[in-house]
Amino acid sequence: MDAVVSVLEFIGAEILNVPAYLIGIFAAIGLIALKKNSGQVIGGAIKAAMGYLILGAGAAVVVASLAPLGELILGVTGSEGVVPTNEVITAIAAEQYGANAAYVLMLGFIVMLLLARFTPLKYVFLTGHHLVFMSVMIVFVLSIGFGEGSGWLVVILGSLLFGIVLVAVPAFVTPWVSRITGNDSVTIGHFGTAGYIASGAVGAAVGKKSRSTEDIDFPQGLRFLRDSMVSTTILMVLIYMVFGVWAAIAMPHDEFIGIMGSASTPSALMACFAQGLQFGIGVAIILYGVRIMLGEIVPAFQGIAEKVVPGAKPALDIPIVFPYAQNAVLIGFIASFIGGLVSLGVIGAWLGPAFGVALILPGMVPHFFTGGGAGVFGNATGGRMGAIWGGFTNGVLITFLPAAALAIIDRLSEVSGIDAIKGSTFGDADFGWLSILLGGSILVGNHLLSVLLILLIGAALLVGAWVFQVKAIDKGWLPAREHATWRAEVEAADKAEKAAAAERAKAEKA
């Protein structure tokens, strides 16, 4: 009997409490369900676990590169500077909360499948990395809020809320996706949804007579920014160099050298340049680990979902809408980044000094993907003006929402005595508003009331999505119908004008 107990204790402490092993086990279960052979199951499980470990290795590089930047920003501005990067904060938080997050990931996915099977919300969320990000974010906030010894409560609450979010969020964005794609075969499963819906709404308001972005001949020279690894590295180098030059002017020279100097790179400014590159290297390692891990997990998720919920609508990553308006992607990205800079200025000049709000530095990854997506949504309802102002709106949201969420998490940390993670946070809009709601519920001070409020949040999301599905989506509602009709007329007129010009050219040649 003692031997059995010892074996169970070993499995619980040394296997089921290690996130990488849990990820590998779950990948193996999915591959077995897909009737893969033993070699594919073993290989897939090992690759999934290795991907998780690689993600942690990349996080260590990123954390090391962010530490000097935080000291520089604090030294020259007196405010905390934070770079919102989902991959980074997930990798850091997973070191402490990864086991519970893995349980929430698996149990929440089951909750999603049950809801998709037995409710009108027949969506299966298949964007693997955002599944990981959201499960970690929920566990992170709940663990800090409820404190030590709350693991079982965090897993139960987190799994229920996670499963509800996975079917509710795709439902709310579906009509806008249908406006973009022209059909309802797929929807978006990406946690920048609040920004996409806001962009579509803004586009409908400001762009009723604006032509499509796809009529623009965009410069080829700027298309290299579509490579997120390159754009992220460039941005971080620029941020480092800006604060490095500022520090060289505003800080005592010895203090600047002390922060940035090293034996291999004695020049503090060149050390800033090198640290910016190191950040890009760390992000590249993390992305590589994510790709390896998800290459095994996503097929397993998809195969299981197809067997449990036949005919369900897949909710996929935001880049699936990029081909519908490629110019809008770049316009939305640039507009979102500008929105982030303007919001950063507001925080730096007012909210930071007045309320101690952290400086949210524009992260290239969230601004590219969510800003580019917002551009496509804005263009679908409001043409060029919709893409510009929709992207800008997204940039404002993914600056102020993380700032507010960080303020609440810091307050939770003070109350619980658990240190919050510094230097990075989640970058996309849905992580922000959900963190605020969860953190605010816990800050009421009574754990029983907090649990009830969190359950109420989940119920409100589920009921709201259910009603929206039945009353709007199932009845064929689409946003900005008037604009779409007008744009079709404009495009038809353009075609007629081009055809007439071609006929005139033929007549002149004749």
* Per-residue pLDDT at 120: 93
Distance between CA 299 and CA 267 in Å, rounded?
Answer: 48
Look at residue 486 in the predicted model and tell me its pLDDT: 47
Position of tokens 């309320």? 355
Q: What is the pLDDT of residue 23?
A: 75
pLDDT at res. 194: 96
**Ranges of each domain in the chain:** 2-479, 480-510
If 0-12 CB within 10 Å is exposed, 13-18 middle and 19+ buried, where does residue 485 land? exposed
Name the nearest CA neighbour of 424 among 53, 101, 100, 94: 94
Look-up of token digits 């996670």: 162
Q: What is the mean pLDDT of each run of 10 residues along the chain (510 residues)?
A: 62 63 78 84 87 78 74 68 79 82 88 92 84 91 84 92 96 93 84 95 85 70 66 79 84 77 62 84 78 73 70 80 81 88 84 68 78 92 92 95 88 76 80 94 89 96 96 88 51 64 70
For residues 491 and 86, what is the distance between their CA atoms, to the nearest angstrom? Answer: 39
Compute the distance between CA of residue 402 and CA of residue 38 in angstroms, rounded to an integer: 44
pLDDT recorded at residue 265: 46
What strands, in cross-sheet order, belong to the sheet with 187-188? 123-125, 313-316, 187-188
How many helices (H) and strands (E) the chain has is answered by: 16, 6
Token code pair at residue 315: 């909710």
Query: How many CB atoms lie under 10 A from the CB of residue 267?
Result: 14
pLDDT at 111: 94
* CA 73 to each of CA 80, 86, 250, 251: distance values in angstroms, whole numbers, following the listed order: 7, 21, 11, 11
Contact 247, 240 (CB under 8 A): no
Please check whether residue 220 is in contact with residue 327, taking contact to mean a CB–CB distance below 8 angstroms: no
State residue 138's pLDDT score.
95
Q: Judge whether 374 and 338 are in contact, CB under 8 Å.
A: no
Are the CB atoms for 257 and 268 separated by under 8 Å? yes
Closest C-alpha to 170, from 329, 318, 380, 322: 318
Q: Is 360 helix (H, G, I), strand (E, B) or coil?
A: strand
Q: What's the Cα-to-Cα distance from 381 to each of 206, 317, 393, rounded to whole Å?
A: 9, 20, 14
Both tokens of residue 461?
């999301």
Q: What is the pLDDT of residue 137?
A: 93
Alpha carbon distance 59, 354 (integer Å): 32
For residue 318, give the amino acid letter. I
pLDDT number for residue 457 = 96
What's the full length of the chain, in residues? 510
Both tokens of 477, joined, read 């509602």
* pLDDT number for residue 235: 75
